[in-house]
A and B are shown apart, each in its own frame.
Chain A
Amino acid sequence: EPEVTQTPSHQVTQMGQEVILRCVPISNHLYFYWYRQILGQKVEFLVSFYNNEISEKSEIFDDQFSVERPDGSNFTLKIRSTKLEDSAMYFCASSDGDRLNEQYFGPGTRLTVT
């Protein structure tokens, strides 16, 4: 069964450093998403991406965040200058955009900012 994969599973970085979180969505999917979950809190939408551009972004997704689909298979989330409060689990998801809009999630990348 096709699945969404994410790398790395755990990333530790120092405050102020740039990080890139990588995702490989399901191959025939057209819509891509990033969500995050701060420890013990609810899962929050960050951004959706379709046709090589951002479709929607949340208030969390400020200028320090960016997304890219560089090569037709990977989907990346970049945090330019990490803050302590960026520590969270980041989930990538993809969907084929049909009526059911079923989103398939990756296993997540745990980002720890020290």
Chain B
Amino acid sequence: GNSVTQMEGPVTLSEEAFLTINCTYTATGYPSLFWYVQYPGEGLQLLLKATKADDKGSNKGFEATYRKETTSFHLEKGSVQVSDSAVYFCALTPFSGGYNKLIFGAGTRLAVHP
């Protein structure tokens, strides 16, 4: 079946520290991969995406590379800010296009302190 596994949180960092949130997936086909972010009291926002192996998604200083050989899509940021404090969800859709549910990981809470 299809599933997503994320590292457990919370992750607590000081401002300007390097961030890695691990995400691995299991999928039967060729999934598209996503990172969504949920700020306190808000809904889900798409952070970045990648649709095929070796694609790198990037946005707002965050990056993730679609690694088919390790079935991973780890989220990284070189220097986090207090405003990055949120819950980060790794997700996949099993196929490209059409109607296609998102399968989410459990989420990783990030807390960044000044």
Q: Residues on A close to B: CB < 8 A? A: 31, 33, 35, 41-45, 48-50, 55-56, 58, 91, 93, 95, 97-108
A48 adjacent to B97 (CB under 8 Å): no
Main secondary structure of the interface of B (DSSP, over half): loop
CA distance A48 to B100 in the complex (A): 8
Identify 8 residue pairs between A and B in the complex whose beta-carbon atoms are under 8 Å apart, listed by A's number.
Answer: A43-B104, A44-B104, A97-B97, A98-B97, A99-B96, A101-B32, A104-B46, A107-B42
A101 adjacent to B100 (CB under 8 Å): yes
CA distance A12 to B99 in the complex (A): 31
**What 0/1 pattern do residues 6 to 46 of B give for CB contact below 8 A with A?**
00000000000000000000000000100010000011111
Closest beta carbon of chain A to B86's beta carbon, Å: 14
| Tally of B interface residues using CB under 8 Å | 25
**B53 close to chain A: CB less than 8 A:** no
Q: Residues on B close to A: CB < 8 A? A: 32, 36, 42-46, 49, 51, 89, 91, 93, 95-107
A105 adjacent to B101 (CB under 8 Å): no
Write out the residue numbers on chain B whose beta carbons fall within 8 Å of the beta carbon of A93.
102
* In the complex with contacts A31-B99, A55-B99, A101-B93 CB distance below 8 A: yes
Closest beta carbon of chain B to A70's beta carbon, Å: 20
Contact of B32 among A31, A42, A58, A100 (CB under 8 A): A100
* In the complex with contacts A42-B106, A42-B107, A43-B89, A102-B46 CB distance below 8 A: yes
Please give 18 more A-B residue pairs, beta carbons under 8 A apart, in addition to A42-B106, A48-B101, A98-B97: A41-B106, A43-B91, A43-B104, A45-B102, A48-B99, A48-B100, A56-B99, A97-B97, A99-B96, A100-B96, A101-B32, A101-B95, A101-B96, A101-B97, A102-B49, A103-B46, A105-B36, A105-B44
Closest beta carbon of chain B to A55's beta carbon, Å: 4
